[in-house]
Structure 1
């Protein structure tokens, strides 16, 4: 069970960092642009919504892996998704994105905790 709590902690930390640093370093500066698609008010609103909705979904993942009686298969699916995302992030950014280690760890811990 400790592995699932470690996974949830990684997921929750990722969500908080994603929401806070993403807003400060990416979303906020993009909102100041008034060119191309960022000049369209609806696009700006949807971008910000999607960014923070993703952070919320990360928190839902965290709760799901430690929720009592969550089916093992669901935990494995969540873990596999996080692990795959982390590994893809590492490869795609050539290891330069700060998120890949914790994304990968969250997924690995969930899979270990689910007994995969």
Structure 2
């Protein structure tokens, strides 16, 4: 029982950190950073998209870790499915988003998408 409560506390911490990171970072870091002009890198729309994308993908990864911790604590028979499903779904979605948002110009979208698809394939065949 103590084990599960400790994991719940860790999950709450991950979810809270994810939300604060995404929302706080968007409002207090990214938007003010993008308002300033004169930086050649930040003037490029793809660079701005990639920076914002990478910032929020970090938060998504923390949510996937929270799902894995939940499965570890409460759903052990389905631990493999929770891990592969969480990674597969999130990376597939992130890869597709990156492909669409960058119009295929960001180098990472194929790797993100393939990571997700391979994890989903492993779930299917495992």
Q: Which structure: greater helix fraction?
A: 2
Give me the whole-angstrom Cα distance separating, in 1, the residues matched to 2:34 and 2:57: 17
Structure 1's unaligned 5+ residue stretches are 75-116
1:17-32 correspondence runs (5 A): 17-32=20-35
Count of paired positions: 72
The answer on 1:64 being equivalent to 2:68 is yes
If asked which structure has higher relative contact order (CA below 8 Å, sep 6+), I would say: 1
**TM-score (norm. length: structure 2):** 0.53
- Which of 46, 57, 60 is the equivalent residue of 1:42? 46
| Runs of 4+ displaced beyond 3 Å | none
The 1-side partners of 2:31 and 2:63 are apart by 22
TM-score where L is the length of structure 1 = 0.57
> Using the alignment, how far apart are the partners of 2:58 and 2:42 within structure 1?
20
Report 1:1-116 matches (<5 A): 1-34=4-37, 35-67=39-71, 68-69=75-76, 70=79
CA distance in 2, matches of 1:10, 1:32: 31
Higher gyration radius (CA): 2
**Alpha-carbon contact 1:11-1:58 (below 8 Å) kept:** yes
